[in-house]
Structure 1
Amino acid sequence: MTAIRRGRTRRAVLVTASCALAVTGVMALSGCGGGDDPDAGTNGVGKLPAGTIQSRTRAAADGAPTVRLSGTVVTSGRTYRLDMRLKADGGTGSVTSQGAAFRLLRIGRELYLKAGADFWDHADGKSGDGTVGKLDGKYVKVPQGDPAYRKFSGFTDKDVLLDGLLTLHGKLATEGHHDQAGTPTVRITGDKGSGGTLDVSLRGTPYPLRLVRAGGAGTLRFSDWGRGFALTEPSPSDTVDYGKQLPAS
């Protein structure tokens, strides 16, 4: 009886050891395969065709309530450096162009521009009448009929900016996996990069994170997707209502 029990015990130990080795082997193989897969643990958009990735990231951007946009935009031969926070009903931030810096604030349809004397000093025909001193460092309410309203309000409009920016031109293709500030991304291109490149997050929602515009028209980074912020109307003491038209600057 003792010999029989010992035989059964040895067989049980061998079976257990064999099972353990088999499981270990499977895990090792799985581990090797997972380590070579750049899409393991991601949101999966890296496996999709470039056109589908672009559609997914556009939908994600449109659905986000807020975003921060920073970088450069070249339009009509002029370079603008932006750092804007945008939401559905307005936006706020700074813009620099040709050495002149100013701040924009839009709440609903009300647009305010705040700049120093160096910005206003070029005001057409106004520099000698004290206008610059009145506007220096104040939030100037921009009349909706003024050319400056149309020109600058677009910088504070999330939908307008994203619609104009998040489009690559030419034949779309994927260009491998990359990294933006520690976030893994998949890059899509238009015409091998000449039509622009866009890095899309592989972590969580597939938001756009970095855009290089076609034709050297600027590079932009997108962050703080969905992070709330307040838009506060400036106090009357810090606001100037210039009337129907701003000085031409």
Structure 2
Amino acid sequence: MTVIPRTRRAALVSAVCTLVVSGLGLTGCGGEDPDEGTNGVGKLEPAKIQSTTKAAATAADTVRLSGAVVSNGKTYKLDMRLKEDGGTGSVTSGDSTFRLLKVGEHLFLKADADFWDHEDPGKKGGEDHGDSETAAADKLDGMYVKVPTGDPAYKRFSGFTDKDVLLNSLLTLHGTLSREGHHEQSGTRTIRITGDKGSGGTLDVSLEGTPYPLRLVRAGDAGTILLTDWGQDFTLEEPDEKSVVDYGKQLPTS
């Protein structure tokens, strides 16, 4: 029996491996390091991955959020671009789609007549004002409505345009954190972390460049959000006066 020296045996294995890989297009015999050439986040503990990606998200100037969020039994489909001083985009709830624009503390809402008729802006004290409601809705059709900060609608809608509020509420997984392997999101390599093996949500974090969060599946089937366009600037401007109705002064109340 011929005994092959260890060094020669290792060289022979390496040579065979190289032939197999090159001939069949495989990725390697010994297994490649999935974190090679990445930002290194995939090697961190899950809690550290979560805190690192939240810090990166907070530090970013801008982001785009698209997808669905379930809140209080309602599903909201979002497509929002956010920055530190406001945001703009669309929100769909049921059959109604409306646009939101927030510049500093000024919140504007734009929707069609059906949305405003459903909102019953002309109702006061539970009294039905019939035709006046339809007239009010028609007046608001396609106009930006400036919502005062003290109105309940301001609190209801402004959260969709607040970058820090949205990210802080979305990017927290619940339960015991764990790594769930390497994945890919829109062509970008990611590391996935989960809370309670997925029941507490899952989060895909970029392994390329800055470790931004790229995809979030919320706990309890509460929606899936894609986070894109990190750091891509856009302009926020208030609409011109001819396109704005002041919610506090112009809406009929009787």
Matched AA of 2:229: D
Answering whether residue 80 of structure 2 is matched by residue 77 of structure 1, we say no
**1:214 and 2:223 correspond:** no
SS at match of 1:243: helix
Could you tell me how far apart the structure 2 residues matched to 1:103 and 1:141 are? 12
User: What are the within-5 Å matches in structure 2 for residues 160-239 of structure 1?
Assistant: 160-239=165-244
Between the aligned partners of 1:126 and 1:119, the Cα distance in structure 2 is 17
TM-superposed deviation, 1:154: 0.3
Partner of 1:10: none
Q: 1:70 Cα shift?
A: 0.5
Asked if structure 2 preserves the Cα contact closer than 8 Å seen for 1:146 and 1:244, the reply is no
CA displacement 1:48-97 (0-9 Å, x = unmatched): 11011001100000000000000011111111000000000000000000
Distance 1:246 1:215, change over 3 A: farther
Structure 1: how far apart are the matches of 2:158 and 2:99?
Answer: 12
- The runs of at least 4 consecutive aligned structure 1 residues that moved more than 6 Å come to 245-248
RMSD across aligned positions (CA): 2.4
- CA deviation profile, 1:172-230 (whole Å, cap 9, x unmatched): 00000001010000000000000000000000000000000000111000000000000
Q: Which amino acid letter does the alignment assign opposite residue 190 of structure 1?
A: G
Structure 1 length normalisation: TM-score?
A: 0.84
Distance 1:187 1:141, change over 3 A: same
Deviation at 1:244, TM superposition (A): 5.8
Equivalent positions of 1:1-249 (< 5 A) are 32=28, 36-122=32-118, 123=120, 124=123, 125=128, 128-129=131-132, 130-243=135-248
Q: What is the identity, as a one-letter code, of the residue corresponding to 1:128?
A: D
Alpha-carbon shift at residue 99 of structure 1 (Å):
1.0
For residue 200 of structure 2, give the secondary structure of its aligned residue in structure 1: coil
Q: Given that residues 136 and 251 in structure 2 are in contact (C-alpha distance below 8 angstroms), is that contact kept between their aligned partners in structure 1?
A: no
Q: What secondary structure is seen at the aligned counterpart in 2 of 1:144?
A: coil
What percentage of residue pairs aligned between the two structures are identical?
A: 67
What's the CA shift for 1:128? 1.5
| Kept after mapping to 1: 8 A contact 2:194/2:202 | yes
Alignment TM-score, normalising by the size of structure 2? 0.83
Unaligned runs of 5+ in 1: 1-20
In structure 2, C-alpha distance between the alignment counterparts of 1:234 and 1:223, rounded to whole Å: 26
Q: Which amino acid aligns with 2:33?
A: D
Q: Which has the larger radius of gyration?
A: 1
d(CA) in 2 for partners of 1:215 and 1:221? 17
Against the structure 1 CA distance between its residues 247 and 73, is the aligned structure 2 distance closer, same or farther, given a 3 Å change threshold? farther
